[in-house]
Structure formats: structure tokens, C-alpha cells
Amino acid sequence: MSFSSIFRCLLCNIPKNESRGEKVPVSTEQYEIEGKNPGDSTDFQESIDSTSQFTSPDESNITTEENIAELPIQKSNRALIVAAKGAYSFADLPFPILSHEHEVVISNRATGLNPIDYKSVDYNFCLPEFPWITGREMAGVVEMVGAGVRDVKVGDHVWTSTYYRDRRAGCFQQYITVPAHTVLPLPPSTNFTSAASLGVAGLTAAMTLWHWLDVPFPPPSANPPPPANPEKQEQEQEQEFLLVWGGGTVTGQYALQLAAISHLRVIAITSSHTAPLARSLGAIVIERDNKSNTQIISEIKEIAGDNITRAIDLVGPKTASACLQVLSRERECRFAPLAMMGNEEVVARNVQVVTVEMKRFVLDEANRMYALELNRLVGEGRVQVPGIETVHGGLENVVLGLDRLKKGEMGGRKMVVVF
């Protein structure tokens, strides 16, 4: 039996009002913004189109009819699927099957929403085929472990960061199946909701700094930097800077904190709205409101001279271009354009543009060390999780959360859907 025909059978088993081709009403009452007015009510009356146009099925990693009969646990796995270009639907899939003994199944309690989640559906990329399941970070309770898993056990409270190429790892489903080395315990003082922001923003900031931009791990304790010595003032001025364009983004907030505890001097570009937050996280802030990029560039140079040796852009091609213009002309520099850079940019010889590929966390077990270090710093209270906006109602309200995120009104807060 093909995957597509199994999928059709599964759809037949779901409640009638969620069957193919019908509109699925979305509950509006369960959408709350912590500490905020829910805002424009027209958002809350949207429906999600359901469709049966599944094409090009890939049977790898998918439970087969034979496997269904062998399942030790007869639970179904509710999923929000991208059924076709730009079209979501719901399905009840079989409980996952492990494909090797080092995998873990996690029951979803909270999943973080990210710009990539809606961009990939709107512009049809990072979707190997239809139907697909998106969502890249979550926190929950371990439901099942493979025979070779040592450090994780059933019942553990954990978070993970996933790679979009495995449909079983898409976080917009009830049960997520991932390699054990990508599963981390919740740091003390976090809960499922706050830990659901670690897998993308937190880990991207950590790996961008420590892996791609060659920033050393922070010192083991929270000791302050040595007091400034006036005789070393000249030397101080020569000290290198990190520029974070988009310091008010969730990823930027993690980057500012991680850089500060490594005693880097950081310049952040933010709006006046997120400026106090970025300052509180240790950055020198340039507010961007009503300024051209040319103005901002000259303000950056006034502060840092020719001493910016590392930069992260979290906004887009124009600001990526601006970052390239302020990097040191003399020293070796590294630049991470996390939100795209134009192909035609001229890059100076002393500048290395790094490609941040978060799939390296999943594909290379050695990179677990970055997640462990991030966990340690969050657990010790040296890195704070960003403010969270919570969407209740689990999978049914993921699309509403993504619509809200798309409007760009987050003001430095992270959107998390709780189950």
C-alpha cells in the first residue's frame, strides 16, 4: 500500500468536520497574549483550508501498514501538515516508529514559532514534498527511547532542535522523533514554554558565535571582567567589537547575552522600542528609528572606528550590505548574514562570510557541546530566556500564531504554542 493511500485512510478516520476539502474552524478563545491585549480580532476568525492533494509520497521514515499492526502503543499522532503549496490541514498519523536505536520520541508540550516556519510555506522552500510537517523547536516529555539511548529516559522533561528534512522531526505534531544527541534536559528554572525558545533562537545564537564566528566559550564562572586600567586605555580602544544588526530580535537577544558573558564589546541596532532591552543585555545600542542605513553606519564607525571584527545580521539583504561596510578594513573579520545576503555583494579579502547551517547540530553529534553549554548558562541564570507570548490550544492554533508572527509586532518577544 502506498503512503498516499495510507494517508487517505487516516484522513477518513478523523472526525467528519475535519475531513478532506472542508474548512476546519479554529478556536479563537484559546489565543492569549501574556501581558498584552489580544489585538485585532479579525485574525481570530480565520479558518484553515484542508486539502487532499498529496503528491510525491516518500515512504522512508513513515509508518507502513505492516508497522501499524506491530505498534506496541496504539496512540495516534495528531499533526498539522502542509498538504500542498500554502495549504495546511490536520491528520491523525500513527504513533512513530524508531528508525534506529539512538532515537527518542518526545510528546509535545510547547513549540516555538519562527519566521522560517511561515516563510517556507509561503514561498515553498524547505519542504521536500507534500504532505510535510514543519516546526523546528519544541519542549516536552520523553515518550519512548531506542535501545541504544543512554542519557535520556522515558518521562524526562526535554527540549530539542530539529532538521526539516525528517518529517518525523517536524515539531507541529504531537510526537516528535529525533536523534538522542539533540535532546537536552530542561535547564533549571525553565519550563516547557520558555525552553521551547532554545532550539532555534538560542542555539542559533550560540552556534553562530562559538562555532562560526570563533568566539571563545565564556569563562566558567560569572566573574566580571577585570576593572579598566587607565594605562591600557589605548589598548582598550583597539579592542574588537561584535555588531548585531537586529539586536531586538529573539535570536539577537541571545547573541547579545552570550557575547557579553564572553566579555566582547557589542553594538546592537534596534528600534527605540527594544533599545532598553538590548541595553539591559549588555550592548551599546544605536536606535534605528527614522534613520537611513548610511546614518547608522556613520554612528557605528564613530563608536567602534575600524574595530568591528565580527557581525551578525538578523534583518535582511540591505542591512547585511550595511554590516559589510562597517567591518574592519585591516583585521581578519567574520560575518554571519542570518537573514539573507545579496549575491552581488562585494566582500573584502579580509572578511569571511560564514554560512550558518543549523542542520550541523543534528548531523554532527559533536555539536551537542554547544547545546550543553547553552543549557549550562541558562541553568545558571547567566542567560535569560526572552519574553514569551503564549498561544494556547496546541496544533489547532499554530497557524494563528504564525499569522501574528508574520505581522512583525512581536517587539522582541517569542511566540510559543502550548499544548
Ligand X SMILES: NC(=O)c1ccc[n+]([C@@H]2O[C@H](COP(=O)([O-])OP(=O)(O)OC[C@H]3O[C@@H](n4cnc5c(N)ncnc54)[C@H](OP(=O)(O)O)[C@@H]3O)[C@@H](O)[C@H]2O)c1
386 or 394, CB closer to ligand X? 386
11 or 244, CB closer to ligand X? 244
288 or 334, CB closer to ligand X? 288
Does 249 bind ligand X (CB under 6 A)? Our answer is yes
Among 354, 326, 413, residue whose Cα is nearest residue 207: 354
Q: Nearest-CB residue to ligand X?
A: 248
CA distance 352 to 336: 9
Check residue 39 and give left, alpha or beta (phi > 0: left; psi -120 to 50: alpha): left
What DSSP string describes 97-122? --SSTTEEEEEEEEEE--HHHHHHHH
Q: Which of 121, 315, 333, 374 binds ligand X (CB under 6 A)?
A: 315
Please give the C-alpha separations between residue 336 and each of 256, 257, 329, in angstroms, as whole numbers.
14, 17, 17
Q: Which of 114, 162, 193, 194 binds ligand X (CB under 6 A)?
A: 114
CA distance 327 to 350: 9
Does 177 bind ligand X (CB under 6 A)? Our answer is no
What DSSP string describes 57-71? ---TTS--HHHHHH-
Stretch touching ligand X by CB under 6 A, among 61-69, 213-221, 247-255, 393-401: 247-255
Burial of 76 (0-12, 13-18, 19+ CB in 10 A): middle
144 or 178, CB closer to ligand X? 178
In angstroms, what is the minimal distance from the CB of 92 to ligand X? 30
97 or 338, CB closer to ligand X? 338
Please give the C-alpha separations between residue 299 and each of 6, 267, 292, 304, 349, in angstroms, as whole numbers.
60, 10, 11, 9, 24
Does 401 bind ligand X (CB under 6 A)? Our answer is no
253 or 397, CB closer to ligand X? 253
In angstroms, what is the minimal distance from the CB of 313 to ligand X? 8
Query: Binding marks (x or -) toward ligand X, 72..111, rule CB under 6 A?
Result: ----------------------------------------
Does 300 bind ligand X (CB under 6 A)? Our answer is no
Stretch touching ligand X by CB under 6 A, among 6-14, 50-58, 291-299, 408-416: 408-416
Q: Which of 152, 260, 358, 378 binds ligand X (CB under 6 A)?
A: 358
91 or 323, CB closer to ligand X? 323
Q: Which of 250, 300, 333, 395 binds ligand X (CB under 6 A)?
A: 250
Q: Which of 176, 180, 201, 374 binds ligand X (CB under 6 A)?
A: 201
Which amino acid, one-letter code, is at 176? I
Contact 252, 278 (CB under 8 A): yes
CA distance 307 to 362: 34
Q: All 3 cell numbers of residue 363?
A: 548531523
CA distance 276 to 282: 10
Does 388 bind ligand X (CB under 6 A)? Our answer is no
In angstroms, what is the minimal distance from the CB of 350 to ligand X? 23
Q: List the Cα angle 286/115/413 in 5-degree steps.
A: 55
Contact 296, 319 (CB under 8 A): no
Q: Which of 61, 262, 356, 360 binds ligand X (CB under 6 A)?
A: 356
Q: How many residues bind ligand X (CB under 6 A)?
A: 26
386 or 393, CB closer to ligand X? 386
3-class SS of residue 275: helix
3-class SS of residue 10: helix
176 or 410, CB closer to ligand X? 410
7 or 254, CB closer to ligand X? 254
Does 314 bind ligand X (CB under 6 A)? Our answer is yes
Does 274 bind ligand X (CB under 6 A)? Our answer is yes
Contact 382, 222 (CB under 8 A): yes
Q: Which of 320, 412, 416, 417 binds ligand X (CB under 6 A)?
A: 412
Residues that bind ligand X (CB under 6 A): 114-116, 200-201, 204, 246, 248-251, 269-271, 273-274, 288, 314-315, 338-339, 356, 358, 410-412
